[in-house]
Copies of this chain bind each other. A is one copy, B any other.
Amino acid sequence: MGQNFFDNEIVFRGYCELRDSDSNCNILMEQPEMAQLLPELKGQCVLDLGCGFGHNCIEFIRRGAAHVTGIDISKKMLTVAQRENSHPDIEYINMSMTDIDRINGCFDLVYSSLAFHYIEDMPKLMADIARLLKKGGILLFSQEHPIYTASENGQGHYLFDELGNKSGFCFSHYQVPGERTDEWFIKGRKYYHRRFSDIANAIAWAGLCIQNVAEPVPDENMITKRPKSDAVHNPLFLIIKAVKL
């Protein structure tokens, strides 16, 4: 059972406001890159792990997917998804992605946006996903970047030059994978640091082959909304596309 962080009332309200802001990092960096890496979806079966409000599930249907299964551990999220993004070919299931070994099915695409860093056992998750994918099927996921998740004891911070511009990033404990906590709306958000090698090995050992990796920076058109210097030094997101051999 994964942590049900998003059903906390303060987190849920804070997250709703953040998602409504048009200068948040997801919209500026993560979503455009994920959209670019999406395979052709016409007639395809899709599993969305940590589907949240169902924005991506409904987008997959718009792109021609035959069926979408969206799972999320948060009941509050799925209530919004059912209300705002329902469709006859979308099935929302309240379930932790640590339990997807209970799902039967065969998917062309397993998709997950910014949720895997909440899961402790990545080798098991990857093995479960590989079992659910057709041969030639695609896993496309984003997560917080290993450099960003590394630091213990709040040692992750930017350096600033004399003009107040970001000039670098400091971090610690990159080589010590494991649980981390920080403050995000409330104290005690729990997530897991994994090195690039831990992530790549979990993917490879499950029989998936990495096709594409992205560490997005904001699109030039979007930089007016957020200074580029935010993204030059420290990558925030890691995006990986892999195929089942």
Contact = CB atoms under 8 A, between A and B. Distances in A.
Chain A interface size, under 10 / 10 to 19 / 20 to 34 / 35 or more: 35 or more
A224 interface: no
A177 to B, nearest CB: 10
A2 to B, nearest CB: 25
A221 interface: no
Given A196-B196, A200-B210, A212-B201, A170 B174 contact: no
A215 interface: yes
B167 A168 contact: no
Contact of A175 (B159, B201, B203, B217): B217
Contacts of A213: 196-197, 200-201, 204
Given A175-B233, A209-B245, A210-B209, A195 B168 contact: no
B172 A170 contact: no
Contact of A171 (B168, B176, B214, B217): B168
Given A209-B209, A213-B196, A147 B175 contact: no
A4 interface: no
A2 B89 CA distance: 56
Given A173-B232, A209-B210, A167 B196 contact: no
A169 interface: yes
A213 B213 CA distance: 14
A231 interface: yes
A142 interface: no
Interface in A173-232: 173-176, 195-197, 200-201, 203-204, 209-215, 217, 231-232
Contacts of A167: 155, 172
A233 to B, nearest CB: 5
14 contacts: A159-B172, A168-B170, A168-B172, A172-B232, A174-B233, A175-B217, A175-B232, A176-B232, A196-B213, A197-B213, A197-B214, A197-B238, A204-B212, A210-B210
Given A147-B174, A172-B232, A172-B233, 8 more contacts: A155-B159, A155-B168, A159-B170, A173-B232, A196-B213, A200-B213, A209-B209, A209-B245
Interface of A: 147, 151, 155, 159, 167-176, 195-197, 200-201, 203-204, 209-215, 217, 231-235, 238, 245
